[in-house]
Amino acid sequence: MFPSSAARTAASRLATRVLVSSSSRAPSVAAASVAQQPSLMAVRYFASVSANEYVMSTFLPPAEVQERILTVVKNFDKVDPTKVTATSKFSEDLGLDSLDAVEMVMAIEDEFAIEIPDAEADRIASVSDAVEYVAGHPMAK
């Protein structure tokens, strides 16, 4: 049962009296909670998800990430831009050696303003690996 409008008005007056009477003293917890209005805030949940929800768990859209990574790879000076595809492997398809692959990962780090740990960077051997890693990274911009 909901309170009547008279009860709501009485409660509002009581809250006003509490605020007015406590204004000369240090504010109490009750007065502070009455004075503040609840604010809207965004909540991001960091939890494991099922395979069906994988697309929902990414932080940047995979299509945008793929487009930006393809641009980075095509602009790399030791890569022939005509050979770059979404499934290109750095060493096999693009002819990059291990040092060039490290430089490629560094260029991707710069593009998305993230830092990829060495252990993770060693696992990134293709454009699709890079897209998967960056799309799931919470700090990628």
For residue 18, the SS3 value is helix
pLDDT single digits (tens) 51-83:
445 444 458 899 999 999 999 999 999 999 999
What's residue 20's pLDDT? 47
Instruction: Yes or no: say if 118 and 42 are a contact pair by the CB < 8 Å rule.
Output: no
What's residue 36's pLDDT? 58
What's residue 11's pLDDT? 52
By annotation, the residues acting in catalysis are 97
The pair of structure tokens assigned to 20 is 């007015």
Cut 0.75: pTM above it: no
All residues at 6 or more sequence positions from 79 whose CB lies less than 8 Å from its CB, including other chains: 73, 94, 95, 96
For residue 41, the SS3 value is coil
Would you give the end-to-end CA distance of the chain in angstroms?
A: 49
66 CB neighbour count, 10 Å cutoff = 18
pLDDT single digits (tens) 103-115:
999 999 999 999 9
| Residue extents of the structural domains in the chain | 5-35, 51-135
Pick one of 1.10.645.10, 3.40.220.10, 3.40.50.10540, 1.10.1200.10 as the CATH number of 51-135.
1.10.1200.10
